[in-house]
Amino acid sequence: MEAALTLSDAATAALTPDELCRRYAPSVCRFAGMIAGSSSDADDLAQDALLRAVRAIHSYDPSKGSPEAWLWRIVVNAGRDSARRRERTRWIVERLAFTAPRESESVEAAVLARLRDADLHAQLRLLPHRDKTLLALRYGVGLDTAEVGAAVGLSTDSTGKAIRRALARLRARLEVTRP
């Protein structure tokens, strides 16, 4: 029993804020760039997600799963909260008839520069938030199906089916836009 406590303590001690950011910030930024509505939203989402993880690092319990599953659950929740805020803001802006989005060079701009197919990215952004989240975790971040499932609270089988349905919806959108 004491050996398990020592192992657990060692795993928790190894997960420092600096190590967490060093190891996972690039993946979190890629994820944010794929699901955010704009470059500034991507920056805000990545920063918010990492800040939440750093603030909650003391609550990480290795006996409940890997640090990756714990982190991606936080990141997905931050993305969901961000999408809700964007929707509320969009509604307010539309109601007030203000349309002055600011674009600036950011993480998303770097991600977009790497994406060769502009249609793919445009159609990805039009998918429902859940589909964007699943595809961004699976293909943008490179998590396997079980890890994606742990991040969004689904079983591995359900996650695989949900990813296939999201891909089918994306494929259908791309087929409609092709000449």
Q: pLDDT by residue (tens digit) across 46-91?
A: 999 999 999 999 989 888 888 999 999 999 999 888 888 777 656 5
Name which residue leads in pLDDT, 119 or 157.
Answer: 157
User: What does the pLDDT look like over 97-111, one tens digit per residue?
Assistant: 433 344 555 555 554
SS3 53: helix
Sign of CA dihedral 153, 144, 119, 111: positive
User: What does the pLDDT look like over 139-151, one tens digit per residue?
Assistant: 888 888 999 999 9
| Percent helix, strand and coil across the chain, each to the nearest 5 | 80, 0, 20
- Return d(Cα 30, Cα 82) in angstroms, integer: 15
Predicted pLDDT at 89: 59
Predicted pLDDT at 20: 92
- Return d(Cα 156, Cα 148) in angstroms, integer: 8
Predicted pLDDT at 82: 84
Please report how the helices 67-96 and 145-152 are oriented relative to each other, as an axis angle in degrees rounded to 10: 60
| Mean pLDDT confidence for 158-170 | 91
- Check: pTM over 0.75? Answer yes or no: no
Residue 49 corresponds to which tokens in the numbers above?
A: 């997600």
